């Protein structure tokens, strides 16, 4: 398999559901959304390799949680590209329960917090910010009518920034890192 075909040199490409011979402009909102999801998946992988091997939440290894997130991101990417796939509603419920569990183990947040406690939590903060951007592109694409995105995939995308935030705080707490509010100077 070649890393390139050259067929996209003119600025077009195919989607899963493209009719035979029909190519789509790479400037389409679909590809902006796919690019944002790809960036989020890549940063999630960067977080995964930095996750301490023994860090676990509710008996689940952090690396396994991040791997699951990556698999769901691939599912959303496939859906955006036209494949008949979507994140199962049960996965939205599972990630919601995980966020609530993490939240119950941490001190209450009363203000914004300055990102960056450990190398790993700083990466999670970057993932949180990128996940928000990817979600905005996903919603924009759905609302444009160019591609319908399932309610469950949109809900999962909405939960991701909360998961990354909870994971960041859990990591800082686990390593006894003091979290500071901004000073607004």
Mutual angle of helices 119-144 and 29-50, in 10-degree steps: 160
pLDDT at residue 110 in the model: 74
Predicted TM-score of the model (pTM):
0.91
> Phi, psi (5° rounding) for residue 141?
-60, -45
pLDDT at residue 114 in the model: 66
pLDDT at residue 147 in the model: 94
pLDDT at residue 91 in the model: 98
CB 134 within 8 A of CB 36: yes
CB 86 within 8 A of CB 150: yes
Domain range summary for the chain, segments of one domain joined by +: 24-103+112-174
pLDDT at residue 19 in the model: 75
DSSP code of 145?
T
C-alpha 2/C-alpha 141 separation (Å) is: 30
Neighbours of 27 (CB within 10 A): 10
Q: Running along the chain, 185 residues long, what does each successive block of 10 average in pLDDT?
A: 76 77 82 96 98 94 98 98 97 97 87 80 96 97 95 98 95 86 81
C-alpha 184/C-alpha 170 separation (Å) is: 25
Architecture of domain 24-103+112-174: Up-down Bundle (1.20)
């Amino acid at each position: 398999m070649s890393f390139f075909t050259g067929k996209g040199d003119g600025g077009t490409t195919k989607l899963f559901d493209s009719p035979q011979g029909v190519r789509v402009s790479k400037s389409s909102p679909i590809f902006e959304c796919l690019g944002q999801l790809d960036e989020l998946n890549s940063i999630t992988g960067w977080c995964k390799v930095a996750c301490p091997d023994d860090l676990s939440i509710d008996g689940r290894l952090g690396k396994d949680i991040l791997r699951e997130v990556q698999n769901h991101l691939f599912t959303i990417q496939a859906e955006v590209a036209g494949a008949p796939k979507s994140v199962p509603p049960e996965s939205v419920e599972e990630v919601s329960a995980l966020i609530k569990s993490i939240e119950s183990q941490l001190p209450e947040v009363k203000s914004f917090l300055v990102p960056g406690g450990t190398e790993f939590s700083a990466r999670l903060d970057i993932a949180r910010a990128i996940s928000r951007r990817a979600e905005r592109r996903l919603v924009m694409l759905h609302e444009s009518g160019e591609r319908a995105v399932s309610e469950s995939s949109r809900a999962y995308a909405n939960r991701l920034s909360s998961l990354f935030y909870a994971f960041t705080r859990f990591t800082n707490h686990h390593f006894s890192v003091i979290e500071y509010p901004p000073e607004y100077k």
